[in-house]
Copies of this chain bind each other. A is one copy, B any other.
Amino acid sequence: MRISVDVQMTYQFPQPNTVALVLEAAHAPGQQIVRESLDLGDARVTRIAGDSGVGQRIWAQVGTEMQLHYQAQIDIARPGPDLSGMQAAPLHALPTEAAPYIRPSRYVQSDKFVSFVGKRFFDLQGGAKVAAIRDWIEMNLSYVPGASDSDTNVLETFAGRQGVCRDYAHLFCAMVRAAQIPARMASVYGPDVTPQDFHAVGEVWLDGGWHLVDATGMCGPESMALIAVGRDAYDIAFMESQAPATLINQGVSVIRA
């Protein structure tokens, strides 16, 4: 599938500022960047590798206003495999790249879910357990914009039973990690995200590779363009600014090309 991404944003800051931007589609397995451009005006730009080597993190030194325009065409050829048939690695076979992702993080206190996951999904293993967790979350959570904020953690989401994509993905990671299966947070572009915006999903380590899983049910793996990964929402924020950022305008468009 080919998708076209167009992101425009203007932010203002009280003084010249350095922001971290993580919003370009990654050069990663399963997707190919056909065409891409990033216009940041006269900002000075430094790039480093993204977390776990996925994508890039941009340091942009901007003035009191940042105008950004990102465009890309991406061919996605990622299979949407049946999770249920996939195997989880036993702990002793977890490689370096996957091992950190069975541990809790700022918003994902997976250590608190060991007992729940053990009881609720005790009879399932590997991909079948992951699939059941995904289904459980989609069934038990309601997608309610405004019901959470950037400080909401996964204990609150589990009790509150509502949230947005960020909260769905956090809870998914929490439960999967509680089952000792590596799960990380991923930011993606998807044409079926409603309303259109940056989207957060989970990614699990099964059959020796990473697989995107959207607990909101909005996107399949074959239609998601991966941007970045990390332990939780903090690691994949599309923009991080220490100075207060005033939103002037922001638009994200993702369409099937």
Contacts and interface: CB of A to CB of B under 8 A. Distances in A.
Interface in A44-83: 44, 46, 48-49, 51, 57, 59-61
A195 interface: no
B160 A158 contact: no
Contact of A155 (B61, B119, B159): B159
A31 interface: no
Nearest to A180: B242
Interface string A71-108: 00000000000000000001111111001100111101
A153 B100 CA distance: 20
Contacts of A36: none
Copies of this protein chain in the complex = 4
A161 B99 contact: no
Contacts of A161: 115-116, 119
Nearest to A240: B103
Contact of A106 (B91, B109, B151): B109
A136 interface: no
Contacts of A108: 106
A108 B106 CA distance: 7
Contacts of A180: 242
Given A57-B99, A106-B104, A161-B119, A46 B242 contact: no
A162 B115 CA distance: 7
Nearest to A163: B115
Contacts of A162: 115
Contact of A156 (B57, B155, B231, B242): B155
A142 interface: yes
A95 B48 contact: yes
Interface in A109-132: 109, 111-116, 119
Contacts of A18: 90-92
Nearest to A156: B112
Nearest to A147: B115
Task: Please list the 3 inter-chain residue pairs (A to B) with the smallest Cβ-Cβ separation, ordered nearest first.
Answer: A59-B92, A155-B155, A18-B91
